[in-house]
Chain A
């Protein structure tokens, strides 16, 4: 069965520090991969996505993610975190073969210390 694992439930970083949020997926075919961010009291905003091609994808707000097929991973990174990045981050895999159904990970809650 398809699944998405985000091993870190909570992460705390200092403002200006680098960030990496982990995401591993289980899916037999080539996945479509997404990172969404949910700020408190808000809906989900798309940060970036991977469909094919270059395995390093750039997103909004200075985020990037790298698809590693051998590790079934799609980790999200940012070189310098801002206080406004505090939010919940969700990794999702879209199932191919038509109109994609999204399978979400459990989410990682990011706290940023000043």
Chain B
């Protein structure tokens, strides 16, 4: 399976600011995804990061709040914009290939606290 890293691993931010989270994979992958895990909750898919095109957002998530970039097949960023305390969560990226039997592998997550 791919080795996935995320930066930063954790951060404490002030409300109204923005934070960009990076996801780096050690091999080329077709699919990259971004999830949010709110405190004590399960994972919710934010969007699918598409290489060379705009991300595909799930219901309840918008590009203005969570802009995503995917400049190549090994790297993606998620920005959490104009943060509020409700954005305090773990943000995880995951990757999948094109084998036709898709298994998603997850990064270690970014723990964000907004004050």
Q: Write the residues of chain A forming the contact surface with B, with a CB cutoff of 8 angstroms.
A: 32, 34, 36, 41-46, 49, 51, 90, 94, 99-102, 104-107
What chain A residues lie within 8 Å of B41 (beta carbons)? 106
Asked if B101 is at the interface (CB within 8 A of a chain A CB), the reply is yes
Could you count the A-B residue pairs with CB atoms below 8 Å apart for me: how many are there? 51
Q: Spot the interface stretch: B13-21, B65-73, B75-83, B106-114.
A: B106-114
Closest chain B CB from A3 CB (angstroms)? 11
Asked whether, in the complex, the Cβ of B43 is within 8 Å of the Cβ of A90, the reply is: yes
A-B pairs with the 10 shortest C-beta distances?
A100-B102, A43-B108, A44-B106, A104-B42, A104-B43, A43-B109, A43-B106, A51-B101, A106-B42, A99-B31
What chain B residues lie within 8 Å of A46 (beta carbons)? 1, 103, 105
Closest B residue to A95 using CB positions: B102
Which of B4, B31, B33, B106 has the most C-beta atoms of chain A within 10 angstroms of its own C-beta? B106
Asked if B30 is at the interface (CB within 8 A of a chain A CB), the reply is yes
Asked if B96 is at the interface (CB within 8 A of a chain A CB), the reply is yes
Closest chain B CB from A101 CB (angstroms)? 6
| Chain B residues bordering chain A, tally (CB within 8 A) | 25
Asked whether, in the complex, the Cβ of B96 is within 8 Å of the Cβ of A32, the reply is: no
What chain A residues lie within 8 Å of B104 (beta carbons)? 34, 94, 100, 102
What chain B residues lie within 8 Å of A32 (beta carbons)? 101-102
A102–B34 CA distance with the chains assembled, in angstroms: 11
Question: Could you jot down 9 A-B contacts, CB within 8 Å?
Answer: A36-B106, A42-B108, A42-B109, A43-B4, A43-B92, A44-B92, A102-B45, A106-B41, A106-B42
What chain B residues lie within 8 Å of A36 (beta carbons)? 106
Report which of A43, A102, A107 forms a contact with B107, defined as CB distance below 8 A: A43
A32–B108 CA distance with the chains assembled, in angstroms: 23
A79–B42 CA distance with the chains assembled, in angstroms: 26
Closest chain B CB from A44 CB (angstroms)? 4
A45–B1 CA distance with the chains assembled, in angstroms: 11
What chain A residues lie within 8 Å of B96 (beta carbons)? 99-100
Asked whether, in the complex, the Cβ of B45 is within 8 Å of the Cβ of A101, the reply is: yes
Asked if B48 is at the interface (CB within 8 A of a chain A CB), the reply is yes
What chain A residues lie within 8 Å of B111 (beta carbons)? 41
